[in-house]
Amino acid sequence: MGYYVNPPNRSKEAFLAEKGIPAINPKWEDVPEGFLPVCLVDNGPFTAAGICYCEAELQCFSDPTDTRRRDFFMCTIEDLLRVSGDDFARWVGKKGLLKQ
């Protein structure tokens, strides 16, 4: 299971509208330093905003055989840390992705 955006005081959609930069068909090699792609997936009764923390995760969320509505955004890792869980924060720390 991956990492997800779950803001405590607003919807995922509101967070992405404010903090995300829309991205069309993002490629891993085009992800700017300090950012990660996020995929907002419409699952019918609910949405999920998955953090694409590696190339394989981005490929899974980009699967052309998946017919669910998906919108991609680029978000700063710093912003994502505020709206994701402790597991994501530990992963970011292990990878040394935040500049001190």
CA distances from 50 to 54, 58, 64, 67 (A): 11, 9, 17, 16
Using the 8-state DSSP alphabet, how is residue 54 labeled? S
Instruction: Summarize pLDDT for 54-63 with one digit per residue, the tens.
Output: 999 999 999 9
Q: Is the pLDDT of residue 76 over 80?
A: yes
pLDDT for the residue numbered 1: 63
Q: What is the mean pLDDT of the chain?
A: 95
pTM for the full predicted model: 0.95
Whether 20 and 73 have beta carbons less than 8 Å apart is answered as: yes
